[in-house]
Amino acid sequence: MIKKRLLLATTNRGKVREIKKILRGLGFKIESLAEYPEFGTFKERGKTFEENSRGKSLFYSQKYPGLVLAEDSGLEVEALCGKPGVRSARFAGPKATDNQNISKLLRLLRYIPPEKRQARFVCVATLTQNGRLIKSFKGQVRGKIIATPLGRNGFGYDPVFYYPPLRKTFAQLTAEEKNNISHRGRALRKLRKFLEKSWK
Ligand code: ITT
């Protein structure tokens, strides 16, 4: 039997790891952009996660014969009026590393007291096929930015994103624990339900 194909349209290995776990068992052959360097790179120019997520997914779905799932995500910090937001990946510069982004964030927050360090992660995941939009799904999670990175798991801003109900940063959680509560886990479980119900 030929398996249904689904492209995870991302170059971020942390995202691929987490999303593959959530979509396990649906019967799709799941691929990522690492296998399709010839597809090129989508330039994110949108002002919202929704816009970038849709744009990214539609861009790759014109090249791939199957379902395409792209997601745009990021961190919004209240004391910084929502920054880094859609610029989370390139906050400290176009090719910034996770450490450089975290350093910039902590520098900007250095005079902000603990009680004013609220933040949220947001994820918008979009399904497309043959250049057509199917549906977008959103998830978010609230936490606080701590002054000293803690933990070695996850990626991006996880070491400084503290989740009060578990008294841990996201980088101190296992992949399963993070998926249970994260913005990505929440958006992707909605998407999974949609696929189970409407995509036979
Ligand atoms: P693709 O566009 O190829 O998917 P990207 O990393 O550039 O990869 P985004 O433009 O969506 O993806 O930027 C997301 C950034 O937001 C990511 O690089 C992290 O810096 C941050 N981020 C998103 N989700 C996160 C998470 O679960 N944990 C930590 N940081 C996260």
Count Cβ atoms below 10 Å from residue 48 Cβ, excluding itself: 13
**Taking the CA atoms of the chain, what radius of gyration do you get in angstroms?**
17
Nearest-atom index, ligand 1, CA of 101:
20
Indicate if ligand 1 lies below 6 Å from the C-beta of 39.
no
Q: Please give the CATH architecture assigned to the domain spanning 4-198.
A: Alpha-Beta Complex (3.90)
Is any ligand 1 atom within 6 A of the Cβ of residue 69?
no
* 182 ligand 1 Cβ < 6 A: yes
List the chain residues with pLDDT less than 50: none
Give the per-residue SS3 of 46-81: CCCHHHHHHHHHHHHHCCCCCEEEEEEEEEEEHHHC
Q: Which residue, by CA, sits nearest to atom 19 of ligand 1?
A: 156
Interval 67-93: pLDDT, tens: 999 999 999 999 999 999 999 999 999
Q: For ligand 1, atom 30, which residue shows the shortest CA distance?
A: 156
Write out the catalytic residue numbers.
Answer: 72
pLDDT for 1: 52
Pairing of strands 28-32, 4-8: parallel
Number of H helices, E strands in the chain: 5, 7
pLDDT at position 3 is 67
Return the best residue to mutate from 71, 157, 162, 170 for the ligand 1 pocket (most ligand atoms within 8 A of CB): 157
User: Which pLDDT belongs to residue 199?
Assistant: 78
List pLDDT tens digits, range 7-38: 999 999 999 999 999 999 999 999 999 999 99
Structural domain spans, the chain: 4-198
Its pTM stands at 0.96
Ligand 1 contact, 10 CB (< 6 A):
yes
Is the minimum distance from the CB of 163 to ligand 1 under 6 angstroms?
no
Instruction: Choose among 137, 183, 133: nearest CA to 163.
Output: 183
